[in-house]
Each structure stands twice: as structure tokens, then as C-alpha cells.
Amino acid sequence: SSSMAAAAVGEKKSVHDEADDGRIINFDHGDPTIYEKYWQEAGDKTSVFISGWQSMSYFSDVKNLCWFLEPEFGKEVIRLHNIVGNAATDDRHIVVGTGSTQLFQAALYALSATGGTEPISVVSSTPYYSFYRQVVEYMKSGLYKWVGDASTFDKDEPYIELITSPNNPDGLMRQPVVNRSGGMLIHDFAYYWPQYTPITSAADHDIMLFTVSKTTGHAGMRIGWALVKDEAVAKRMTKFIELNSIGVSKDSQIRAAKILQTVSDSREHAGDSKDFFETSYHHIERRWKQLREVVGKTGIFSTPEFPPAFCNYMSRLFSTQPAFAWLKCEGEIENCEDFLRSHKILTRSGKHFGMSPKYVRISMLDRDSNYDLFIKRLSEMRT
Ligand code: PMP
């Protein structure tokens, strides 16, 4: 397609060469198509071949607590965490899910299913990932209820706190904020990878969620994984997935194993291919540099600042460069989403994240052709 061809040459052109055909740029979602280019260049070594007779059974490993986890995928998950150093893997159970979205629901079920008669409160500090609220509410569950902002939660009762670090939408590193013991925590580490943020230590929490969607960009594979300390919790999460979908696509797990293996190999067998995280880091770094430049020039918006930290993976100091830009319209503009829509740029309003409509969230992970056009439009904006 023409956009793929444009994506392939995008780096070589100046953004101002891009003709504005007046098309709508949709940065409302976080579709990670920025990574297509790396995987196109990686070529055939990432292909998998699956015969008609393969991956037919429901079962992957009946001896494993998570009986639908493909052993090869589990092995590559541990290998990658050990190479990147972003999460402790010793003495944990791996639960695979259809995206981390399913695992999030499995975790809610696992933490609330043994509770009392009242639904347990689910909190996350604002601005929170907008999908959490919808997912918690859509089934009208009797097990849990959405309460919202964790920073104002002071009820003396059990609760589940969602911690997203780096956070979607604003990119800040986060810790639990409810100042009480007895809370149950779910750590969403979708973005705790070195192309986005310095890896300062191996995360070591009870329930940690990851996803290939944001690690390698394979959102369409629908594969996520949870690292779970407690055996009973891991068992209940597995039970949820059994009831919900009787396991997780084996074809996808086999493909995910291959992709993770390629990422690890790109680090360990340097020379064969470009380090995936280094390459992706530089791609996103260029985008943030362009964004900060036009934002500084026009004065219409502001963006968050991030403190530098030493990354153990990259062996250097840098600041978080999030997968989303959390833009604030300065001055007169009250509705930032409407303002950008008038320039044919679709964004997600701050109000979905429990914040003011002066904010919008913008995907930084779209294809070059769209990102370049976005920068061009920003640079020409006047209020
Ligand atoms: N958690 C966060 C913080 C996310 O931003 C996303 C994707 N937008 C997800 C989870 C869901 O990812 P998946 O594709 O694995 O369901």
C-alpha cells in the first residue's frame, strides 16, 4: 500500500516534503504500527510455518498450572525478561492471555472471587488508562466495582489498585498511591521496556502484566502474559481463562515465541540483526524530538517533562519517551480534542482518563507517513 511504501522511506525525507492530502489522521488509538518497518527489514527469519495437523489439541502442557501455555512461549518470555532485566521471573507462574486485556480481567476475577458479599472497589489514580473503567463496568459484575481515582480513595475496606508504569496516558512512572496495607495490586507493565523508559531495576510484584502489543508491536497477535507470585491466584487466573475462552490461541503463542526469540537474538547475537530495542528507541526518540520542537515553537501546547534515569539495558542515561504524548492545550482553547479535530487529527480527550478536556492523548506509535504529516500540521497551526 502507499502508506507502507511511505513508511519505508519516511526516515530519509524531511517532514516538510510530505504533501498534505487533507486526510484524517487517527491518533485516538495506540495501534503500534511504527514497528512494521523493523519487522519488514527482519524478513523471513521471523516467519513461522504451521501445518494443518499442528496445534490442534486444547492442551499445551497438562503438567503446568497454566495448562494452555505453550512451553516454547514460556521459555522465551523468561529469556527476554532476563536479557532486558525489567522483571523478576524466579518462582513465578506464567499465565498467558488473549492480550493483557484478558489477563487484567482474569486478575480482577482471581482477586475478588474469594471475597465477601459486597463488590470490591477497583481504583487507579488519574489520569488512568481509559479502558480499565470500561472493562470493569461492562459486565455489571457483582465481584468488583469501579471507584475511580486512587488518590482520593480512603474507605476502610479491601480494594484492588491498578498501577500502570510508565503510565498510559501521561508516561509518568508510578507507585501505588492508596496509603493503606491490605490492598491488592495489579501492576500493568505494558510499557516497561527500554524503547520507552530507562530500565532501572527488575520489577518484583505479586501480579505483573505484559503484552507483545507494546513490546514488539504485534497487537494483532493478541498475546499477553502475567507473572504471578501466588499459586492460588495464578490458578484462579487460569480458571478464568478456561471459563472465558478455554485457553489462548496456540498459533499465536507459537508465533509470539518466534518473535520474542528474534528480539532476544537481536541482542545476544549482535551483528546478525539490529538490536530491536535500540532501533525502536532511536525511532521514538526522533519523534519526541520533533514533537518537542514544534510544541516549543507554536506555544499552543505543553507536554510533560520526564526526569532522566540510568537504564541498565542501554547502559546510559535517558528520559522516558512514552508511547503516547499527553498534550495540554494552553491559553484559550478549552477543548483540545475539538481543536485538533478541526485540523483533521483525531485524539482521545482527557475526560476519558478522568481529566479535563484541555488534555488529549496522542499515539506516538503510528506509521512514519502519518506521524510526519501530524508534525507538519502542528508546525503550521495558529490559534
Ligand atoms: N494496558 C495498557 C496500559 C495499555 O495501554 C494497553 C493497550 N492500549 C493494554 C493494557 C492492552 O494491551 P493488549 O493488546 O495486550 O490487550
Q: How far is the CA of 17 from the centre of ligand 1 (A)?
A: 34
Around ligand 1, the residues with Cβ closer than 6 Å are 30, 99-101, 129, 164, 168, 188, 190, 211, 213, 219, 224
Q: What integer pLDDT is reported at residue 164 of this predicted model?
A: 98
CATH 3.90.1150.10 placement within the chain: 2-41+275-379
Residue ranges with strand state E in 143-218: 144-148, 159-164, 184-188, 207-211
Whole-number pLDDT of residue 368: 97
pTM for the model? 0.94
> In the chain, which segments carry CATH 3.40.640.10?
71-268
Looking at residue 286, what is its pLDDT? 98
Span 70-80, average pLDDT: 98
Span 230-257, pLDDT tens digits: 999 999 999 999 999 999 999 999 999 9
CA of 211 relative to ligand 1 center, distance in Å: 7
- Per-residue b or e along 252-279, where b marks 16 or more CB atoms closer than 10 Å to that residue's CB: bbbbbbbbbbbbbbbbeeeeebebbbbb
Does the pLDDT value for residue 16 go beyond 70?
no
pLDDT at 86: 98
Kindly report, residue by residue over 332-380, the tens digit of the pLDDT: 899 999 999 999 999 999 999 888 999 999 999 999 999 999 999 999 9
Give the model's confidence band at 271: pLDDT under 50 very low, under 70 low, under 90 confident, else very high.
Answer: confident
CB 5 within 8 A of CB 368: no
Atom of ligand 1 nearest to the CA of 30: 8
Measured in Å, residue 212 CA sits from the centre of ligand 1 at 9
ipTM of the predicted assembly exceeds 0.90: yes
Atom of ligand 1 nearest to the CA of 224: 15
pLDDT band at 161 (very low <50, low <70, confident <90, very high): very high
The yes-or-no verdict on residue 40 having pLDDT over 50 is: yes
Q: Can you tell me which atom of ligand 1 is nearest the CA of 104?
A: 10
Ligand 1 pocket, mutate which of 128, 129, 221 (most atoms under 8 A from CB): 129
CATH class for the region spanning 71-268 = alpha beta
Centroid of ligand 1 to alpha carbon of 381 (angstroms):
31
What's the pLDDT at 7?
Answer: 43
Q: Residues 131, 107: contact at Cβ < 8 Å?
A: no
Task: State whether CATH 3.90.1150.10 applies to domain 2-41+275-379.
Answer: yes
| pLDDT tens-digit map of 293-333 | 999 999 999 999 999 999 999 999 999 999 999 999 998 89
**What is the per-residue pLDDT for 114?**
87
Task: Answer for the pair 326, 358: CB distance below 8 angstroms, yes or no.
Answer: no
Classify 125 as helix, strand or coil: coil
* pLDDT band at residue 181 under the 50/70/90 scheme: confident
Q: Can you tell me the distance from the alpha carbon of 314 to that of 285, in angstroms, rounded to the nearest whole number?
A: 14
**Please, which pLDDT band fits residue 4 given cuts at 50, 70 and 90?**
very low
Atom of ligand 1 nearest to the CA of 168: 3
- Residue bearing the CA closest to ligand 1, atom 8: 30
Q: What is the pLDDT of residue 178?
A: 93
Q: How far is the CA of 187 from the centre of ligand 1 (A)?
A: 12
Predicted pLDDT at 10: 42
